Amino acid sequence: MAKGTAYIVGAGDFTTRGLAPGRGDILIAADGGFDSLHRLGIRPQIVLGDMDSITRLPKGVARLRFPPKKDLTDMALALDFAKARGFGQFRLYGATGGRLDHSLANLQTLAGLAREGFCGVIVAPGITIYALANGTLRFPPLKPGTVVSVFCQGGEALGVTLKGLKYPLTEARLDPFTPLGVSNEATGQPFYVSVGQGVLLVTIGASPV
């Protein structure tokens, strides 16, 4: 049986929205993500990475150091660390902003989680990003006008259906070169996003999680 939620904090733009680890959860600082937590007096269970962006090495906190020459980002290493310990739900903080290549890498990593059957979300200032593979995500009512965008990831997505949004889709095909799903809007009603085959990223602006 899978454990609770792994909260992973990277070195990008940080928000405390929804950052509330409970019993059975784990809080991991991925390298420079420790600085964001330290400024708020929040102590992770472990900090890991190559330690190239952390301002100060923590005292009294477990550390797992990797060589600078490595194939994975610190965020991806933190995810592997948590998955190896039985966690199946992930909330990623500090995963956007800063270097664009790292933001793109984290979006790829989020999509990879969905493809592997895990549940993951990126929580960033002003935006929340979900990933969905061959299934359905249901959302509660959001304030009318809240921006909801849908993008395919890693190839085309088939059977894409959007219900309850301002601009619905039914069994549509999305490809990675045409932003058909950008800038939709919540209507104040529950809505859902579904894909028959493929991986979607769903971004929601200013939405509580």
| Amino acid identity, position 156 | E
pTM: 0.92
What are the pLDDT tens digits along the chain (209 aa)? 457 999 999 999 999 999 999 999 999 999 889 999 999 999 999 999 888 778 777 778 888 888 777 778 899 999 999 999 999 999 999 999 888 998 999 999 999 999 999 999 999 999 999 999 999 999 999 999 999 999 999 899 999 999 999 999 999 999 999 889 999 999 999 999 999 999 999 999 954 44
Number of residues that this document lists for the chain: 209
Q: CB–CB of 154/111 below 8 Å?
A: yes
User: What residue ranges of the chain are covered by domains with CATH 3.40.50.10240?
Assistant: 5-125
User: What residue ranges of the chain are covered by domains with CATH 2.60.120.320?
Assistant: 132-205
Bridge pairing between strands 119-124 and 89-93: parallel
CATH topology (fold) of 132-205: Jelly Rolls (2.60.120)
DSSP for 88-152, please give it: -EEEEES-SSS-HHHHHHHHHHHHHHHHTT-EEEEEETTEEEEEEESSEEEE----TT-EEEEEE
CATH architecture of the domain 5-125 equals: 3-Layer(aba) Sandwich (3.40)
